[in-house]
Amino acid sequence: MPKFNTQRKVQHTDLEMFNLVSDVERYPEFLPMCESLNVRSSEERGNKTLLTADMTVGYKMIRETFTTQVLLDKEERRIDVRYIDGPFRYLENRWIFKPLEDGKSCEVEFYIDYEFKSRMLGMLMGAMFDIAFKRFTEAFEMRADKIYGAAEA
């Protein structure tokens, strides 16, 4: 039952980071192990957007696709991911973006908890998933620097 939780200060606003993480279709361009991401549906629910998406991840010869519902809450600067189908017994994921007083940076909280259905798949991919998830926030920060410009030293 791997779990990973990190909080990281980044030199981009909470809105910039929310928008970046919300742009799920771009994940294959920069996210470790993400080979493809297809949004099946997008539904507006008041001030929130609910996406249903398939993500294919791979490592060496192994490829797995899983389906999630992604709730984008722009007002709260929060993204909640609910697992629907695929190789996991469960998967829970959330992002929270908190503005900092300077108005130019924010704290990004990333949380993920998951377990593979198959013990064999867990042994094959588990260690790589652990490494990839630990690099997620860093990958998003590097992407933000590329899109929005790196902060001045």
Amino acid 126: pLDDT: 64
Q: What is the mean pLDDT of the chain?
A: 89
Given a cut of 90, whether residue 95 has pLDDT beyond it is yes
Please give the CATH superfamily to which domain 3-148 belongs.
START domain (3.30.530.20)
Q: Which residue has the higher pLDDT, 59 or 39?
A: 39
Given a cut of 70, whether residue 111 has pLDDT beyond it is yes
Mean pLDDT throughout 125-150? Answer: 80
Domain positions in the chain are: 3-148
Given a cut of 80, whether residue 15 has pLDDT beyond it is yes
Given a cut of 60, whether residue 48 has pLDDT beyond it is yes
From the list 10, 48, 27, the residue with the least C-alpha distance to 141 is 10
Q: Which residue has the higher pLDDT, 40 or 87?
A: 40
> Within 13 A of 74's CA, how many CA atoms are on the CB side?
13
